[in-house]
Structure 1
Amino acid sequence: MEELAEKAGITVRTLRFYRERGLLPPPRRAGRIAWYGDQHLARLRTITALLERGHTLNGIADLAKAFESGRDVGTVLGLTEPTEETPVRLTPEELADHFEGEVTPENLANALSLGYLTVDGGELVHISRRLLDVSAALVRRGVPLSVVLDAGQRVRAHADALAELFLEIVAEHPVTGGAEALRPLAKSVVDAELSMALDRRLSPDGVPPGPAPADENDQPRS
């Protein structure tokens, strides 16, 4: 216990308190010896990261119970909603392979808080194959995972505002098929507007590029 507390950067008294609150699973016992492993150290570091992000001990205890029972952590956090995204089941090792050493306790805690990751039994579940692939691609191109997660939180705020806007339109002007029929149309609008916004910012003069000039050979002949 003393060795574990030292590695985790906490006191033995704090470690005992976490054990009493059910935040830490019991050690493996061999006779009178209690063995703590890497999973205990990872749990303690995750607890520290969650506390730093403003979570309460009661909330962390609920998360710990979810880990132990295999319940979906997203449900505990109130972050699971119906979605058309395809979830991906991953072992901790597979998740680490996706992000090349970027799966720190802080990043894991952030991903759990955002609802990108949940837990199902002994596996992790990422809520979206597309977001997983894009996030991993950004990390491979040199963007730290912590920055990717912070950007995701900011994008979510804008996406929520856009969703509210389109739902207000449906509420005021009912469309055939209801809100679900509006989904692909709304996504097309957002995709086109984002593309044009990037054009404006990437163009040297701030003006989106126009159509390419026609080749002489394409000119109509008299």
Structure 2
Amino acid sequence: MVKSEGPTSGVTHAAPTGSLLTLDQLTARVGLSVRTVRFYTSRGLVPPPIRRGRSGYYSAEHVARIDLVLELQSHGFTLSAIERYVAGIPDDASPEDIALARTMLAPWQSDLPVEMDRAQLEARCGRELGADDIATLQALGVLRLRGTTYLVASNQLSIGVRLLELGFPREVAVAAAGVYAEHGEQMAKELYEVINDKLAPLYDGASQSEHFREIMERLKPLSVGGLVTAYEAAVARAARIPRRS
């Protein structure tokens, strides 16, 4: 067992197998500055370095966790949201477990959101947007706030704007978003378990990681299509009018 430095002093971690990295090697590997890596460590986003004598080293777990943090940032997660997400990762999670979580986080649709400021957003909408309009578009999933800018699903923006013009109530959008969130979370958990238990073990080696990522990228649009098909069938069943006796 190797003792870690920093706030968790006294907590021991098993020494990882494979090559360890110095801080300089780690920063070159992940494309971050020394200051940023140390900041992530101070916030608990990355474990402290592994101590060997007076030197600190970093393992594949450190690389995987940094990659995950960067993935979360690319999705517009705030620092506090990233901290909450990372806090839910078990201490004994392997680099493969963390890499799977990162792969699952990557976009499931080919149309990536476009970042816009308020002026650009209103120009694209062709109208001014009040606070209630913004809240409705957020509830509809058309945009989400990222600091002082917005991440916009540009392929859905015109639909959202038309709903605003038709007087679509904000409370309905919020209620529908609640339904999507509740059932979407359950579906995500179950799909994650299927992939983690049945698919990921088939591509466990490092040499297979690129192969696994390609499979996931090709699977995602099919999964989205399958979800839409299942939803349409469920709506059709729910909308059937019972015959009168």
Q: TM-score, normalised by structure 2?
A: 0.41
Q: TM-score, normalised by structure 1?
A: 0.45
